[in-house]
Structure 1
Amino acid sequence: MFGDLMGMMGKLKETQAKVEATKKRLDTVLVDENSSDELLKITLTANREIKSISIDDSLLEDKEQLEDYLLLTINRAIEKATKINETELAAIAKDGMPNIPGMDSLFK
């Protein structure tokens, strides 16, 4: 009984270390998103930290249009980054979970 518990605790600590390493690695994974006409370009990390924004000069003439471009493009970039982030962390969580009956159905 205690051997199983100690094994599970060790596995959980190992998984926690892998999660932290993955979060750190995701800081280096860049996600690029462009507006459909490529007048606005956003780059952020898979941890959803904006790294750069490039705005074509033509967008600077219309504040409302620029705001719309920013909202749409940033939200699409965040959605992409979130999918990458969740996929990476879910894979680690699934591999690191102790074998508890019924728990595997949560990760399908």
Structure 2
Amino acid sequence: MFGDFSSMMGKLKEAQEKIEATKARLNTIFVDGEAGNGKVKVSVTANRLVKSISIAEELTDKEEIEDYLVLALNKALDKANTISETELAAAAKDGMPNIPGMDLFK
């Protein structure tokens, strides 16, 4: 009985390590978003950290820039969130022990 518990704890630790490694790797995956036909571009990591913002010189209206920036960021962050959730779920599923009645990742 304790052997099974020990094995399960080892697998949980392995899952946690895989998740941490995946989080670190997500910092190297860049996702772009743009708005205003490319007048505003943003780049974020899959961990949802903003890395760069580019605004075309022709944009001078503060409200227009703000609106485009919000749109571009939301697009990039939505993509990053999808990637992050998919990658972390896969890492967790691969490392989780098979516990009867605990079908967390169907």
Matches of 2:91 and 2:6, distance apart in 1: 20
The aligned residue for residue 9 of structure 2 is: 9
The aligned residue for residue 67 of structure 2 is: 68
**TM-score of the two chains, using structure 2 as the length reference:** 0.94
Aligned counterparts, 1:78-97, within 5 A: 78-97=77-96
Shift of 1:50: 0.6
- Are the counterparts in 1 of residues 36 and 68 from structure 2 also a CA contact under 8 Å? no
* 1:54 aligned partner, one-letter code: S
Higher helix share: 1
* 1:27 aligned partner, one-letter code: N
Structure 2 stretches lacking a partner, 5+ long: none
CA deviation profile, 1:11-69 (whole Å, cap 9, x unmatched): 0111111111111111000101121501011001000011100100122x111111100
Identity of aligned residues (%): 63
Matches of 2:23 and 2:15, distance apart in 1: 12
Shift of 1:102: 3.0
Runs of 4+ in 1 over 4 A off after TM superposition: none
The aligned residue for residue 42 of structure 1 is: 42
Shift of 1:94: 1.2
Structure 1 stretches lacking a partner, 5+ long: none
Matches of 2:90 and 2:2, distance apart in 1: 27
**TM-score of the two chains, using structure 1 as the length reference:** 0.92
Question: How many residues matched?
Answer: 106
Matches of 1:55 and 1:10, distance apart in 2: 49
Larger relative CO (CA 8 A, sep 6+): 1 or 2? 2
- Are the counterparts in 1 of residues 26 and 45 from structure 2 also a CA contact under 8 Å? yes
Shift of 1:103: 2.2
